[in-house]
Amino acid sequence: MSRIKGSIELDFPNEEIAKIVYGSVLFEHKTVPYRRSRLDFSLNGSTIIMRFTAEDNSALRGTINSYLRWIKVALDVAEL
């Protein structure tokens, strides 16, 4: 079975914002079980890096959408 692999790098204006977002999403990353996809979630300075592997397009889409939604919520809260 072939797998889909890729990565997304999100650059933030500064390290402080990146750390806030990363820390907020890290809890979800550690606690949500994914059966058809895997995602390596890391922080490098002001950049959040997501490297993923998925069994199919649906698993890929679901995983990426979840992470991007969590990141958006963390950014919205940080702006308050």
Q: What is the pLDDT of residue 2?
A: 77
Instruction: Identify the residue whose tokens are 């999100």.
Output: 10
Write down all domains in the chain, each with its CATH number in brackets: 4-79 (3.30.310.50)
Predicted TM-score (pTM) of the model is 0.87
CA distances 58 to 18, 39, 52, 61, 63, Å, are 28, 15, 13, 5, 9
| Contact between 48 and 22 (Cβ < 8 Å) | yes
Instruction: Using 50 as the pLDDT threshold, list the residues of the chain that sit under it.
Output: none
Residue-level pLDDT at 35: 84
pLDDT of residue 25: 95
**Closest residue by Cα to residue 5 from 41, 57, 80, 74:** 57
